[in-house]
Every structure is written in C-alpha cells, then in structure tokens.
Amino acid sequence: MKASTKANNEGEVAAAFQGTVRRLGARFTGYDTIAGAGTNSCVLHYLTNDHDIEKGSVMLLDAGAEVGYYTADVTRTWPVSGKFSKEQKAIYDLVLKAQNAAIDLVKPGRKHHEGYDAAMRVLSDGLVDLGILTGDKESVYKSAAYSRFSMHGISHWIGLDVHDTGNYQQEPGKRGGSRVLEAGMALTVEPGIYIPKDARDIDAKWRGIGVRIEDVLLVTPDGNRNLSDKLPRTVESLEAVLNQRD
C-alpha cells in the first residue's frame, strides 16, 4: 500500500507485494498478482499490471502468498493519493457493508449461498441510495440489476489451491450453493462493485471506480475466524496506513 503512493506504474505495486512476501519466506505466490489502478480496477482477473497509475485513482490489489503448500487469497482497494474521494468512499463503504453482512453468515449450519444473497441485497439497495440504480428497492433487487456492476460470486473454497476442490451443491446459473457450512471449512468472502469508464449512462463522478474487498474465513464451531483481518479493511484504517511516516 505504501509503495503505491510513490509508484508511477502498476507493476511497481505488484513487485512490492511479491518482494515483500518473498522476503518473509513465501517462495511462491498462490496465483498471478492482480494490481489494477483506476479503470483497471474494474477489470476482473486483470493481469498485465503495466499501466501508469492515474493521480487520484484507486488501486485494487488481489494477491496471495503460498506457504507450506497452502495459499492465501486477499484483496484490498485503496486510494493512491492516501485519501478516498467522496465517491470512492461511498462505493468502498457500501462494499464493506456487503462483505460484513456475508461474513456474519459464515458459521456452521448456514448455507454457502446465504452470504452471497445477503451481500447482493446490501449492494442493490445501496446502489439505489447512491442513484446509480433507479427504481424501488424491491423491484431493482428482484431484477438483479446490480449484476451489471457486481458480476461475480463472492466465495470459493481455499486451501491447497486458490480455488480449492469441493462441492457447493450449486444449481445451474446460481451463485453459491446449498452446501451447509461446517467447522473446519475455509472460504473467501469477496464482494465488489465495478463501474467502468465507458458506462456513459452513469454520472461521470462514479466512473472508473472498482472496489473489491476479500478475506479468508475459517468456519469455527461457534462462528468464524477472519484469517486476514490484521490487514486494514476500513476507510479509516486504510488511510492511516497510507499516511504513516516511516
């Protein structure tokens, strides 16, 4: 995160992550690092990491180290200026609210898809509140209009592979499945909103903002443990890290 405040190119941010985890003992990354700034934060599985970083943009870093054959998979999004703009903060807080709603449902006895459903309801209602989607909230949610800006599932098993094996009991065309969560399972929770620059029907102030927040959760007998919770996750904690003096 700190490297991004002085970086000119996305590759410098990817390199900072990879060099750090290597120094800390990880021989490999769990998958190709994704470091997308500005409009590239809206590109799923963006891998080139070679564009200049626009002043005032957000940086989305999706990255994980592999240690002892187990991989992490974590995403953080932050402002390279050190402070979120009003619009960036609004989108970020909405995604964080959706993630927290899904995390609350990671516990034994709940179904895998319940977190997705809860997160999408939060995102849908929030996009209406922000004026990005229009209509009454119930109709907008039922129409799945939110999927234009949030087009992926929000959870997968993780372990020896970044998308580890395991049955979700998933119905065709649905996100998540009816698999009941049990203690000992490990999975990600990663909602996101992506408003590309070419979304001409959306107010220009929202365009080019992509936010995803991803953590690795362990299902425990009485709830869950966020294995990546030491990384800053709120607007306030992110801005504090970015503005720390070495």
Q: pLDDT for 218-229, tens place per residue?
A: 999 999 999 999
- Which CATH number covers residue 208? 3.90.230.10
Residues paired with 116 in a beta bridge: none
Using DSSP, state whether 17 is helix, strand or coil.
helix
Q: How many domains does the chain have?
A: 1
CA–CA separation, 209 and 118 (whole Å): 22
Q: pLDDT for 110-169, tens place per residue?
A: 999 999 999 999 999 999 999 999 999 999 999 999 999 999 999 999 999 999 999 999
Query: Nearest Cα to 52, choosing from 7, 104, 99, 111?
Result: 7
Query: Nearest Cα to 30, choosing from 154, 155, 158?
Result: 158
Cβ atoms 164, 119 nearer than 8 A: no
Residue 16 scores a pLDDT above 70: yes
Contacts of 68 (CB under 8 A, 6+ apart): none
Domain range for 125 is 3-242
Residues paired with 9 in a beta bridge: 52
Tokens representing 240?
């504090």
Query: Could you tell me the pTM of the whole model?
Result: 0.97
As to burial, measured by CB atoms within 10 angstroms (0-12 exposed, 13-18 middle, 19+ buried), residue 186 is middle
Contacts of 38 (CB under 8 A, 6+ apart): 51, 53, 54, 57, 58, 208
Cβ atoms 182, 228 nearer than 8 A: no
| Order of strands, sheet of 186-189, starting from the edge strand that comes earlier in the sequence | 186-189, 215-220, 223-226
Quickly state the pLDDT bin for 246 (edges 50, 70, 90): low
Residue with tokens 């939110």: 146
Residue 172 scores a pLDDT above 90: no
Task: Please tell me the predicted confidence (pLDDT) of residue 195.
Answer: 98
Residue 245 scores a pLDDT above 80: no
CA–CA separation, 82 and 17 (whole Å): 18
Most distant CA atoms of the chain, gap in Å: 52
